[in-house]
A and B are shown apart, each in its own frame.
Chain A
Amino acid sequence: MMRRALPVIGLVLTLAACTSGAQQPQQDAAPAKLDLKTTTPAAAKGLGKVTWNLPYEPQTLDPIRSFNYAENTALANMCESLLRLTPDFKIKPGLAVKAANPTPTTWVYTIRKGVTFWNADPLTADDVAASLRRHLDPKLGTWWGDYFNTVKSVRATGSMQVTVTLKQPDALFNQAMATGAGAVVQKKFLDQAGKSLGSPSSGVMCTGPFEFHDWKSGDSMTLTRNDHYWDKALRAKSESLVLRFIADETTAVNALRSGEVDGQYFYLPPAGLGQLQKSTTGSVTLGRSLTFWALLGSAKSGPYADPRVRQALSLALDRAAISKVVFQGTASPQRALTGSDYWGYERKTYQKAYEALPPETTDLAKAKELLVQAGSPTKPIVIGVQGSSAVHEQTANLLKATGEALGLDIEIRVVPVEQYGNLYSDPKARKGIDAFLSTWYGNVPDPLDIYTVFRKGGRTNFSDYKAVDGAIAKARAEGDPAARASLVTGIQEKVTRDVVWMPLNNLPVILYMNKRVTGAVPSFPYLYYPWAAGLGAR
């Protein structure tokens, strides 16, 4: 075995071409200076077959119900959206060449000419309108509802023009068209497939650089190169991409080490991360990411409903230790939910606001003082964590130890993994739980995408936080970036000082590729961007 010093990426990526305009990630006082990437070295040539692993088998390929890692990782290579979220977090034209905003409540999309579906039929406005309209039918059960709440109607207003009318102005709607929310499937195919759209037997009919070839339920999914892809710069280098579904982490790491699988994205560091980093047959790349690790407050009464108690816990918590112990050195501490990768506009404004926030370092004396001010509560604070998850359990241990140092009684309640999802959607499941741990991500480079959670009556506003409701509505309706940034930094200030959700660490994308391959996108947009188009031999 060869031992390679951490971080591996510095050595491997000496060839990496810096993408023009990629911003330097803002580093705060992180314990380990992480060099997070947006590209990997370009492939010299294509391969016949590349095998990739997904963290679990997708439930469906229907874009409206694809809002999770495995589903989006697969779809991103097949179905394209109106706009495109690039690996360096920019929003560029996609299937629409232009997005115009003639009035605050109308978006007019000019559809790109000369684009064809895999079956050679041309893309028209009808396909786009039909795809977007599916989000408006409650029976179909879209998972992207947060971006379609403001939509009144979607109409094809020309053979190559689609007009979306909103009930009120919405700064996020158009940005969401760069994610899976704006994915376009052929109308004819939608009508034929009906309910079975996106199932192993039907698949999808889209325009992307890889075509759906087949999906053997329980075994694998095969995508093949689309030789007629409209964007020559993103034509797939390799002929086919086989996606496997090894859910067991140990088995997945073994398959990567043995070379049976060429690569995988991890959204949390696997227990075998060290083995992968030391592997002589491949390397790990850490990518810039919109994902973070946080303690979501859900208490409406009791000690944890007091912001001073939350501030105390936050101040006493050693985020550098979380990074080291829980995330094996891969996750930088964060002082706000939205770090620098969210600043897609008005970066200076956001940076100044971020620097003015309380630091992510510990201050136990101040924390104790705050607790005294809050009346030194004795009632225990119940924190929900997911069972059979090392990341959850280890963070819980650190929280408990922090509580002990602070004089705060913290009780950990382990919720089985299969019921953990109910905490997000079912108030009954949250009964008696003051806060719970979660990963979370926004979809677009705009901090407002995260802070929208704290709308009054929002389904994930677990603690019924009301202080920023008006400001969120204003910010969502604000078309001018500078004005919006000043509103959003105001919201960020309030939410962060009140520790509604406690920001812990930023979670970079962890990409493993074996030595045979290179060229995958290592940053968060891999969920919506054809990350495998550049994948090929070194």
Chain B
Amino acid sequence: MTTYLLRKLIALAVVLVVASFLVYGLLYLVPGGPMAFLLGNRSGTPEQIAAIRAQYRLDDPFLVRYAAWLGDAVRGDFGSSLVYRQHVSGLMAARAATTTFLVGYSTVLIVVVGVAGGVLAGLRRGRVDAVISAVSSAFLATPTFVIGVLLVIVFALGLGWFPVFGPGEGLFGRLYHLTLPAITLSLGSAAFLARITRASVREELGREHVETARSRGIAEALVIRRHVLRNASIPVITVTGLTVASLIAGSVVVENVFALDGLGSLFVRAILQRDFAVVQAVVLVLVAAFVLINLVVDLCYKALDPRMSR
């Protein structure tokens, strides 16, 4: 187990270095630079431009700049934002909290709604199944931002139950402010998870050992719990892990719709402004989160299915 974890962590480090190099290189190749943002659009003498280019090492060759960045990053210094002239860590701290909260809240919604709906549809044939399937199809087919806009129109502007924008303050304030964004972010994934769960439950129900257990007169509830749900949960956990990882990307759209100060909106703006240090730091955080979530999924697997750990 320890060697397994160690292996995974070394792999993570390698992935981070490769990702940082790729992103830095791509950003370097894209035309347009941060100059317009450093100078404003209307002033700047040649001397001033030269002074600024030197100050930000904009004229250094790519490898020199990357190496300098990497050297600082290894020591835990992710540099300063070109545009905001603040330390990247400071820029990211507040925003990371919002995004984490949003993704966490959405995950809870996805798991509760998706698994409950899927199990219900799997165990109850007929009308319940049809309704759940139809609703999940509709949610799957609707783009995230459309759901967001509709929710705002109905629940924020129309009924006035929820705020239109912003991340809120304090635990209850945050829950209240992030409810619509979290629903927006989770509906599609919850529908997907419901379908996977339903299929998985159906499959387990048809298995021989379930038939055998039933024919021996074991209580139905026990059969469902011990034989059906436990086995059906393995694919469900895999899908949940992947879904949570994909929420990190989906949060960019939702953060823009609800004007949330998350990592996603910071990331998009930093790319547009060629703010190297910020883009790099956000990428590292997102990649690390992605890899760690997958690691957690692997560990859950092992716990559920002894065959996996061999």
Contact = CB atoms under 8 A, between A and B. Distances in A.
Contacts of B152: 251, 254
A418 interface: yes
Contact of B259 (A146, A196, A198, A246): A246
Contacts of B104: none
Interface string B16-42: 000000000000000111011111111
A114 interface: no
A88 B222 CA distance: 81
B86 interface: yes
Contact of B83 (A59, A143, A248, A258): A59
A48 interface: no
B266 interface: yes
B213 interface: no
B163 interface: yes
Nearest to B50: A138
B41 A421 contact: yes
B62 interface: no
Given A246-B259, A254-B157, A422-B32, A138 B164 contact: no
B254 to A, nearest CB: 11
Nearest to B153: A254
Interface stretch (B88-96, B105-113, B239-247): B88-96
Contacts of B85: 59-60, 195-196, 198-199
Contacts of B265: 218
A275 B266 CA distance: 29
A141 B45 CA distance: 9
Contact of B166 (A201, A244, A459): A244
A146 B42 contact: yes
A219 B166 contact: yes
Interface centre among B45, B164, B257, B265 (most CB of A within 10 A): B164
B235 interface: no
B52 A141 contact: yes
User: Interface residues of B toward A: which range?
Assistant: 35 or more
B261 interface: yes
Interface string A144-167: 111001000000000000000000
B258 interface: yes
A216 B258 contact: no
Contacts of B35: 422, 425-426
Interface in B152-170: 152, 156-157, 160, 163-167
A459 B43 contact: yes
Nearest to A453: B42
B256 A248 contact: yes
Interface centre among A68, A201, A254, A424 (most CB of B within 10 A): A254
A219 B43 contact: no
Contact of A424 (B42, B84, B156): B42
Contacts of B163: 258, 260
B266 A139 contact: no
Contact of A201 (B33, B86, B98): B86
A282 B277 CA distance: 42
A56 to B, nearest CB: 9
A230 interface: no
B146 to A, nearest CB: 12
Given A138-B48, A145-B44, A260-B166, A218 B36 contact: no
B55 interface: yes
Interface in A121-141: 138-139, 141
Contact of B261 (A65, A218, A424): A218
B58 interface: no
B36 A424 contact: yes
B258 to A, nearest CB: 7
B63 interface: no
A489 interface: no
Interface in A192-222: 195-196, 198-201, 216-219
B36 A143 contact: no
A60 B84 contact: yes
Given A200-B86, A218-B261, A425 B273 contact: no
A391 B51 CA distance: 36
A247 interface: yes
A67 B258 CA distance: 28
B259 A138 contact: no
Contact of B39 (A141, A244, A251, A254): A141
Given A201-B86, A248-B257, A218 B43 contact: no
Given A217-B95, A255-B259, A258-B163, 6 more contacts: A67-B42, A141-B52, A199-B84, A246-B165, A418-B273, A422-B33
Interface of A: 59-60, 65, 67-68, 138-139, 141-146, 149, 195-196, 198-201, 216-219, 244-248, 250-252, 254-255, 257-258, 260, 417-419, 421-422, 424-426, 429, 459-460
16 contacts: A138-B51, A141-B48, A143-B40, A145-B43, A199-B86, A200-B84, A217-B84, A217-B94, A218-B91, A218-B98, A218-B261, A219-B261, A254-B157, A419-B31, A425-B44, A459-B45
